[in-house]
Every structure is written in structure tokens, then in C-alpha cells.
A and B are shown apart, each in its own frame.
Chain A
């Protein structure tokens, strides 16, 4: 299993992501800098971490979405390589057009930083197969701009195609239909505001995020 964590200037959850991947898979991921024009060969999994890439200039994730490495990530995503974007990583994926919708300022305008309950809406995806549909899990959030917006038609389509992976089980940021995580059409790209990489060990506040990484690595082992 060959994984990579992408670091943009201003990423601050890249190390947490790398630690979580190593903890669950047993193998340290490669670290890739945003300015690289190409990805290492033969990647099985790509993670875009949280943080404040480019200081959130213009719009969160908009600058990173146009950085050199994103072209290579788009190509990899089109080839079916699993891509996970967490928090700022989700914003980058939405800005790059790999995922539908946009992440706006939280409806209550305040930064939200706490562990929230999520409902697993789709347990069939390669990111969620180790969860049960309808299961409630506890995952931390820490963001100012996690208010998911898409037009009604897009939202209906996402719901109809099972592309809402996670939903907040309580009010968190004003997201349309409480959407916390969405999948792309082919199901190999997941963006989510909550941080599964911060929930992989009981000693540090819970391990409900572990199954997400286990799901990905299990799907890779089968493939």
C-alpha cells in the first residue's frame, strides 16, 4: 500500500494525517509538496489534509486548488485512485471541481471546534465499508468555513445517488441538509469537514475515525 499526504503552504493537519495512515496501515505515507508537478508512481491512496492553505486567501482552498500538484491529483482521481480530503482538503477538492458544492462561512459565523456526532449515510463506499449504515460515530470538527452549499438539484442528485457519506447528527455549521461529507460520482473521492485522522486512538479522544482508514486499506487489499 503506497499512500501520499499532500502538504500545501499553510496545511497543519498533514502530520496528523500521516501518523493516522501509518498507525492503521502499518506503513508511513510519502509526503508530497504542493509545488511538485507530479505524484510518485503507483500511488494507492492520496490524502489532502486540513489547515489553512495559502492563508485562506480569496476563498478557502481556492489557491491550493490551482497549485501544480492538483493537476496530477485530478488525473489520479480520474484513474480511480482513492482521494480523501479532510477539512481544508475538502475545500480544496470542492474548489477544484473534483467534488460538487462549496464550503461557506459557518452560519453562526464562529469557528467550531468540538467532537460532533455523525450519521454514516452510506456504508457501501470504499471509505465507509467498515461502518454500518445509520451508525452514529463521534469525530472532531475544527473549522470556520464548513457550511456546505449546493443548489437543490445537486443536493437531490447527491442524496439519490448515495453520495452523502456522512451527515451531522446535530446542528454544527448550517450545512445544507446537515451534509458533513460527500463522494464524487465514481465514489473514489471523499471530502469531509470532520477529522477522522484525529480519532484513531482511544487514548487521544476516540477511535471512530479508524474504520474509515481501515475501509480504504481493505478495499485496496482486495483490489
Chain B
């Protein structure tokens, strides 16, 4: 009995931290409508700054708590700086761009933290005066955790007072509901948003700094917390503070007891929970229906079939690419093979985003399913490569059919969050199920047979399969299926009014896109000879988004060009410097700032201006 009580209290302590971080995230989202990936990085920075300050002053209670507060304020200031320097320019951009901009910040902070604090785990000093534990029904429980448990409700109360009893809070709530009307009444939205980013980031920093006595500070804290905080925010209802509090408590307990009941699938549990909540309560536990659901991206002018000589460019390009092995060495062929694979991956994601208007945050899941499907067949059944490759799109397609059935029931950000949930479930399985998937050791020895083992032979095989699939995807875009998808994207209501089952077509598109990504994954597994859980992780999904963005979502060739650009840039930068994340992050930020409507949108605007002049 007492053991369960202590477990329950541990769950409460974990919930407190989770609440601090997710309350910040939900406040920022509620007001700015920006999904801030960098929120986890602010948490991590709070932990690192907290660690440094506590190392210096943390011998006295005043020094310790002063250090925690200072770390939180410093992180808050950084958040405000990000609003002024970056987000402010993007409020009118498609959500995808805002998301990518904050992901650029994630990469920059990763390398900055690594430069400043190194990559070793840092163990912090414990809070003076709270080092001991108390006995609760004869079980020891850390005193510090009791303080954390109390802190959660206190912060909730203070935030409630701030939002309901101050003019600033009233203005923030007004702007949350109708930014434009608040501005027309004389409220400066920009100032308000800077303040909100300060508050939200400071809460993340506070959460991070408070973790110092509890766990080692490291460079992986950002992604793990931000994904968990997303879950809390979505489960609680986006923008709802009380919802975030309740969801934190539930998820804290789910983790505390989940580890007892299902030690193997603790990571999956949280995402399963979120998927179930979203299916039952579409807007989270305490969320309200959005009056205008957030839109994914502006589609731009309609796609038209290329005519004249342009029509032959893809075939010509394919022919040229097929001739490359005559002149190129092995290294170039390896890189090109990867480019072709990623082009297929990006094009499959573009089918969802560009044609369907469905922004998936978890497309890596299907890439990974294909890769793991192939690798597992080879490892457990000694399947030959052709069979393993054929199974990749089938497995990924089936996975996408299942996940897609749930995902297409929601739109906008909730769709994105569901895709993220399914990707995290797939990732957790690959990461935690050591016996079957090898866990983070991955699966090694997935090599092509002798006839395809040469770099040139495998390159040509990849080119043929990926090229063929790209051709099919293009056919789909200009078939009635493609027009139907686009109709559903531009106006779901009108499409339904003329008799189109929008959801069903989105579901098919999801499966088709997943299947194509799966083939790319299978090809990738054999090209590398191994698979790892990172193939399904969030950064992989984001990479795919960056590729689609770089090329622009308005054209079918966009994602292919984007994949090539992105991969060549990445390989080049990685070979030049170990700070490639910093460079890549800055490139993303500059791209988003320079082309707030996307590269293709920029070119189109330029074109139109020329035509009008």
C-alpha cells in the first residue's frame, strides 16, 4: 500500500514539472497560435543555466532559489527576444513556416548548449535544506519532490490570478480570442505577444531549472520534454491552463504506474492515451471548438500539367541521372542514392501537404515502418531483398491505413498532433522492444545481395524504383483522385456538397503517401545496411517537412528539388563542421525569414509583379 502511495507522489512530482513546461506552451499557443518547438529547448536552457548558477551560489537556500529564479528570467528574456526577432515577422505566414522557424531555433540552441556546457551529463547540487527525505507510511520520499508537488497548484493559482485579475491578463485573453478586434480597440498585439513569449519561456526555464537536483542535465532534454508537453497541451485542450494541469496530473500518474504494469511500453502509453482522448474528445479534455481551425498552408494557384518542352524535363532528368554511374565515383553515388530516396520521401509527404492540405508531423513513421519492415524480414526470416523491398510499402501502407483512419477525422493542428502521436508510438516500439527490433542498437547487416551490392547497381535500382513511384504519384496528382484531394483542401464543405467523401479520399491519400514513404524507407535500409529508431524520430519528420518547404509546396517538382538541396547541404555542412546543427538551424531561419511565403510563393509573387509592371 505505502509503495503505491509513494509511486503516486512521484507521479505528482513529475506532473508538477510537466505542468510548468506545458502551461508555458499552452499560453504561447493560445495567444500566438504558434506551435513552439523551441519550448523544449528553453526548458533545457533553463536546466543548464540553473545548473551553472546553482553550482556557483547554490550552497545557501537563498542562492539556490535565486539561481533558479534568475535562470527562469533569463530564459524568459530569450523567449521575448525570439518573438521580437523572429516570430513577429511570421504571424501571417503559414503555420508550417512558423513551426520550421522554431525548429531552426531548436537546432541552434542544441549546438549553443553543446558548445557552452559540453555533451557530458551534468549532475547538479541538491537543494540546501531539502536534501533529505521524509518517511511516508515507512517509505522514504524526497523532501524536494514534496516542494515540487506543492508548487504545481501554486503556479496554477498565480497564473489564474494573472489572467483573470489583471488588465494585462484580460488583454491577453481578449487577443487570444480575436487579435484583430483587440488591435482595433487600441491594444498593441506585438507588445502583448512579446510579454506572452516572456512568460511562457520563463515557465519552461523554471521547469528546467527545478529539475537540476532531480536528474542529470543533458542535451536530449529538449526533444523528450517538448513532445511530452505537446501531449499534455493537446490532451488538456490547446490554450487551456486548467486542461494542461489536469492532463499533467493524468500523464504523471500514467507514467508512474505504467512503469509498474507495462515496463516495456511506458513510452507508448502516453501517446496511446493521447490518441484515445483525441478520438473521444476532439478538442482535448477542456478545449473548446476552434471557430476557425488553424490552416496548414496557403495552396497558391492551381497545379497545371506542364506543356511543351517542359513536359519532357522529368524524363530527361531521369535519363541523365541514369548515366551518372558512367562518370561518378562511389561516394558521389552513395550521396545520390540517398538524394533519390529522400526525394521520394519528400514527394510522398508533399502529396499530403500540397494536394491534401494535411500537414503531417509524423511522416517519418512510414519511412521507418518500411525500413524496419525490410530489415526485420531479413533478420528474422532471412528474406531475400526483392521480397523485403516489396514488403516495405505494403507494411507502411497498412500502418498508414490504420493511423490514417484516426488522423483524417481531425484537421489542422489536431491532425498534425495525431500524426505525431502515431509516429511516436512507432518510434517507441522500435526504441523499447529490444528483443524484436534491437532497441537503440538497431538492426545491422541488411545488405543487398551480390547482384545489387555494387554502388552503381544499387543506385540504378533505387533510381528505377523511386523514379517509377514518383511517376505514379504524379499521375495520381492529375487523376480525378488528385483533383478530389485538392477540392477537399480548398473547401471541404463545398467538396462535400458536390458529393465528394473528403475524409475517405484523405484517408486513401494518407495510405498512398505512407506506402510511398515505406518504399523509400526500404530502399534506405538496404543502402545503409542498417536501421535505427532515429529513422522514425521527430527530427526525421521535420527534415522531410524542411525538404518540402525548401522546394515550395506549390509545385510537384518542389519536394524533389527540396530534398536534393537539403541533403546536399546537410552532407556538405556535416563534412565541414561539427556544428552542423547550428548552420542548418540558421539556414532554416534565414530561409523562413527571407521567404515568408515559401520559395515558390516568392518566385510567383516576383513573376506576378513583373507581369503587372
Question: Do the two shown chains form a genuine complex with each other?
Answer: no
Chain A positions near chain B (C-beta within 8 angstroms): none
